[in-house]
Amino acid sequence: MVNRNLADLQYLEEILDNFSKATGLHVAIVNKNGESFGLFDTAERCGFCRYIRSKSSGIAKCRASYKQATQEASKWEEPYFFRCRAGLVIWAVPISLRGISLGSIICSQVLLWKPDRFFYQELRELNPEVDDFSEMEKKVGQLDIISPVRFQAAADVLYVTVNQLMKRDLRVLENVETYKMQQRIHKELEDRKLQKTSATKEGDDYGTYLHRERSFLRYIRLGDKPRAEKNLHTLLTKLFVKATGELTTIKMRISELATLTSRAAVEGGAEAELVMVVLDKFNEKLNDCQRMEDFFLHMQKLVTVLLNSSVSLEDKKHYGLVNEAKGFILENYSRPIKIDDVAAQLFISPSHLSRLFRQELNCTVNDYITRVRVEQAVELMKKPEFSVAQVSQAVGFQSQSYFAKVFSKHIGVAPLIYRNSLS
Domain spans in the chain, listed from the N-terminal domain onward: 4-173, 195-311, 321-422
Nearest C-alpha neighbor of 283 from the set 271, 299, 272, 268: 299
Report the DSSP beta bridge partners of residue 107: 27, 91
pLDDT by residue (tens digit) across 103-116?
A: 788 877 777 778 87
The predicted structure's pLDDT at residue 329: 92
Over range 75-94, report the average pLDDT: 73
The CATH class that applies to domain 321-422 reads: mainly alpha
Q: Which of 67-81, 154-168, 181-195 has the lowest mean pLDDT?
A: 181-195
> Against a cut of 0.85, is the pTM above it?
no
Q: Which residue has the higher pLDDT, 102 or 398?
A: 398
Query: For a pLDDT cut of 90, what percent of the chain falls above it?
Result: 9
Task: Write out pLDDT tens, residues 221-274.
Answer: 877 777 888 888 888 877 777 776 678 888 888 999 999 999 888 877 777 888
Pairwise pLDDT comparison (136 vs 326), residue with the higher score: 326
> What sign results for the dihedral spanned by CA atoms 135, 138, 144, 145?
positive
Distance from the Cα of residue 377 to its chain's centroid: 23
Q: pLDDT-derived band of residue 68, with 50, 70 and 90 as boundaries? A: confident
- Which residues have a Cβ under 8 Å from the Cβ of 177 and sit 6 or more positions away? 37, 304
Is pLDDT of 6 > 60? no
